[in-house]
């Protein structure tokens, strides 16, 4: 056993010493995977705030859904109520022509049976057309003697009528029509001016 053997033994550490060195090294190294845990009170506060936010979002989403449902229902009802509006508006001129035909020759002036039968047929056709209008919520506006209403009447002229209240309808040039509560065509009217003011309803 020379000095060489002694030096080799000094360089190789004992097994127990090596194991102890490894343990000490691990103990001294910081453990990065462990995060600092917040206190239960802080965590509870955070969860309550998060819950309140989600509850607010849910309520807003439910309100929006209800609004969309109501809007869709209203549009569906309007579509069913006013779907015939365009078609009915095109038929109004036919109704006007039937009325003009009846007014062009009063029944009292018809001299023969054929003419009276023709007038009766035209009158029956007008009644049938107006009946179809009524079944679909379309009503004729014939406001003679009523107070002028700009929502449903269109004034074509004003005339001096001292015997009529000022602002009342004295002549209907063309009847108007409404479909349910919506104006289809305003009545074209002549309005009195210069007379007494119409009495206001009590």
CA 179 to chain CA centroid, nearest Å: 18
pTM above 0.75, yes or no: no
Task: Give long-range contacts, CB 8 A cutoff, 24+ apart: 170-173.
Answer: 170/144, 170/145, 171/144, 172/142, 172/143, 172/144
CB neighbours of 15 closer than 8 A, spacing ≥ 6?
none
pLDDT in tens, 54-84: 999 999 999 999 999 999 998 888 887 888 8
pLDDT range class, residue 17, cuts 50, 70, 90: low
pLDDT in tens, 122-159: 999 999 999 999 998 999 999 998 999 999 999 999 98
The pLDDT value given to residue 38: 74
The pLDDT value given to residue 60: 93
The pLDDT value given to residue 163: 84
pLDDT in tens, 157-200: 998 888 888 889 999 999 999 998 899 999 999 999 866 665 55
Extract the tokens encoding 193. 């001016």
The pLDDT value given to residue 63: 93
How far, CA to CA in Å, does 185 sit from each of 96, 137, 158, 199? Answer: 12, 14, 20, 28
């Amino acid at each position: 056993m020379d000095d060489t053997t002694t030096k080799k033994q000094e360089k190789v550490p004992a097994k127990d010493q090596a194991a102890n060195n490894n343990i000490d090294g691990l103990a001294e190294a910081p453990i990065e995977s462990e995060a600092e845990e917040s206190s239960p009170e802080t965590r509870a506060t955070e969860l309550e705030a998060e819950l309140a936010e989600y509850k607010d979002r849910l309520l807003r989403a439910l309100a929006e859904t209800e609004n969309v449902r109501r809007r869709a229902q209203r549009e569906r009802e309007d579509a069913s109520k006013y779907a015939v509006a365009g078609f009915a508006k095109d038929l109004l001129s036919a109704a006007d022509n039937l009325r003009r035909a009846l007014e062009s020759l009063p029944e009292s002036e018809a001299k023969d049976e054929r003419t009276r039968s023709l007038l009766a047929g035209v009158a029956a056709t007008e009644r049938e057309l107006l009946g179809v209008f009524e079944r679909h919520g379309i009503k004729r506006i014939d406001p003679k003697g009523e107070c002028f209403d700009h929502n449903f009447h269109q004034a074509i002229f004003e005339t001096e009528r001292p015997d009529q209240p000022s602002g009342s309808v004295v002549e209907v040039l063309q009847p108007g029509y409404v479909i349910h509560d919506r104006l289809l065509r305003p009545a074209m009217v002549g309005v009195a001016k210069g007379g007494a003011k119409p009495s206001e309803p009590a």
